[in-house]
Amino acid sequence: MTDGQDGLEAQFSQWRHYVQRRKELRSSDADELEDHLRGSVDELVAVGLHADEAFLVAVKRMGSLDDLSREFAREHSERLWKQLVLSGDTDGPERDTPRSRRDLLAMIACAAGAAVAVKVPELLGKGFDDDPAFYATNATLLVLPWLAGFLAWRRRAGRAVIAVLVALFALGAVGANAFPLGEESQSLVLTAIHLAIALWFVVGLAYVSDDLRAPRRRMDFVRFTGECFIYYVLIALGGAVLVAFLFGTFAAIGITPDAFVGQWLVPCGAAAGLVVAGWLVEAKQSVVENIAPVLTRLFTPLFTAVLLAFLVALAVTSGAIDVEREALILFDLLLVVVLALLLYSISARDPLAPPSLFDKLQLALVVSALIIDVLVLLEITGRITEFGTTPNKAAALGENVILLANLAWSAWLALGLVRRRTPFAAVERWQTAYLPVFAGWAWIVVLVFPPLFAYV
């Protein structure tokens, strides 16, 4: 009985932890919901259900947390505006405002640091027009350490983690600058793209530094990535409107602010905007958290339809896939978008929700992407066998092999989930365990490919 009671309390604790991630809900709301849940469990146990069964039934009766969050947001809409304008948690101003203010000040310091960092090379005589290759490989090195620093400070990362972060950014600097890569070099483009990916995973290390071994924190980082992207796009759109008004108003008095906008406002704003986007995700989680799942549910069916239409057209025309450079980039981007949709929808899914039509759509999306990946791999292998390899083809081959392994097992797990034979936790564990593979491959392309292909 004691073990059963302990197990039930652990389930209550896990449920409450999940509830408290919803910023629409105050601590008092969580107390109210937990009281209601405990009452329902007691009633079900009294009529003969086992504690575990009673807990699951009571949670099911209570409804999804998305519905509860929306209901509370409607009833207390003023909280949403407070979250947007003031702090990330309106549960207790006296208790939480100092932390929010410290976060705000830290964000401002890091955003200013990023804005200054992108101008330092120019102040030292290395302008963008003089050496665009330098900025192609070093742009992320100038910005992402500030975002990682903000997250590490917020997580109170230990010295060992901070040392690893510094070492990885230093390694990135070596990869970006140690090799003699010309402006026409394929390795230059590959290094710029893969170094950005590798350093983003370093940002992820700072994000999970408060609990390095928890798979759930890695999935939180996936959610952070998607929401940060959405916030950054919104900031960029707002910046574009600002620039348009700036040009219009100053043109009315005979001043053209080209130099200020091109040399200062755009690069500094783009760098600082990324740190601001990261802070917004941390401070205003519930605002975009309610938008992002809607976007995944909107685009998953659309991408599934596009991939299925492509496969049908390919079968009808009996044509082959063109694997020239542009086509390779397009197909790889398509597969990455599919994987991003899959990852983000998993991160936003209620772990307790039963399989639904959306899960079947995801299965169709993953299987379609898997078939396309196999076709692209066959074409790439054939071209490499016939004409030899290049850095681009080798990178594409490796990435498609990595995606193949991920998509194949994802499809198997998704099939099991739809058939109710695989728990959702297995799907989540697979994706979080696979994240280091993507990071490892990115580092290989940055550090090994240039000398391997003679800096071509």
How does pLDDT run along the chain (456 residues), one tens digit per residue?
A: 455 677 778 777 777 777 766 655 667 677 777 787 888 888 888 877 888 778 877 777 776 555 665 555 555 544 554 554 444 444 444 445 567 788 899 999 999 999 999 999 998 888 888 888 899 999 999 999 999 999 999 999 999 999 999 999 999 999 999 999 888 888 999 999 999 999 999 999 999 998 888 887 888 898 889 889 989 999 999 999 999 999 989 988 888 888 899 999 999 999 999 999 999 888 866 555 566 677 788 888 999 999 999 888 888 886 667 667 677 778 878 888 888 888 888 877 777 778 888 899 999 999 999 999 998 898 889 888 988 898 988 998 999 999 999 999 999 999 999 998 898 889 988 999 999 999 999 999 999 999 999 988
What is the overall mean pLDDT for the chain? 84
Among 373, 372, 355, smallest CA distance to 413 is for 355
pLDDT digits (tens, 9 = 90+) for 398-453: 999 999 999 999 999 999 999 988 988 899 889 999 999 999 999 999 999 999 99
Angle at 149 between CA 146 and CA 152, to 5 degrees: 155
pLDDT at residue number 343: 86
Q: What is the pLDDT of residue 398?
A: 94
Nearest-angstrom CA–CA distance, 117 and 124: 11
* pLDDT the model gives residue 3: 56
pLDDT at 436: 94
CA distance 258 to 411: 51
Classify each residue of 137-162 as buried b or exposed e, where b means 16 or more C-beta atoms within 10 Å of its C-beta.
bbbbbbbbbbbbbbbbbbbebeeebb
Tokens of 234: 């919104």
Q: Are the C-beta atoms of 73 and 67 separated by less than 8 Å?
A: no
pLDDT tens digits for range 86-102: 444 444 444 455 677 88
